[in-house]
Amino acid sequence: MTRLVVPIEETDGNVKFNRISRGFSLAKGLMIIDLSDFGVVMDAFSLEVGHVQGETMLDILVGLEADIVLSEDIEPELSELLLSNNVKVALTKSKYVKDALRDLLAGKTFVMPGKEMPIKYAN
């Protein structure tokens, strides 16, 4: 199981149409998606966080037991903190969660630290 966390601008009743925030400091919420080892969505829910930053956001992401964060952009300090806590960072050009998830599973995202993804279809 892989836990993916995506910063979102606002929550929409239809999960796949949530718009991705340009970074975690601008996010009003987080979309948490649990994926099977084959990339099947097992669970998805959102969490409103307001505008938290830095180590507070790191604490939230570590508390959620994130394996991967997926964003359009990410603050350099947060990226370093996540990588040092063994959380992968994936960057996408997609604007919506559904498209970004498709790109992640198709291996079309930039992943740091560049090692293999824990999802078999992304390799």
Question: Helix-strand-coil percent breakdown of the chain, rounded to 5?
Answer: 30, 30, 40
The pLDDT value recorded for residue 123 is 45
The pLDDT value recorded for residue 118 is 55
Helix (H, G, I), strand (E, B) or coil at 43: strand
Mean pLDDT of the chain: 85
| Domain 2-116 fold | Nucleotidyltransferase; domain 5 (3.30.420)
Number of Cβ within 10 Å of residue 87's Cβ equals 22
Mean pLDDT computed over 8-26: 80
Highest mean pLDDT among 10-19, 39-48, 63-72, 109-118: 63-72
Q: Where are the domains of the chain?
A: 2-116
The pLDDT value recorded for residue 37 is 86
Residue 62: pLDDT above 80?
Answer: yes
User: How many C-alpha atoms does 72 have within 13 Å on its Cβ side?
Assistant: 17
Model confidence band, residue 116 (pLDDT cutoffs 50, 70, 90) = low
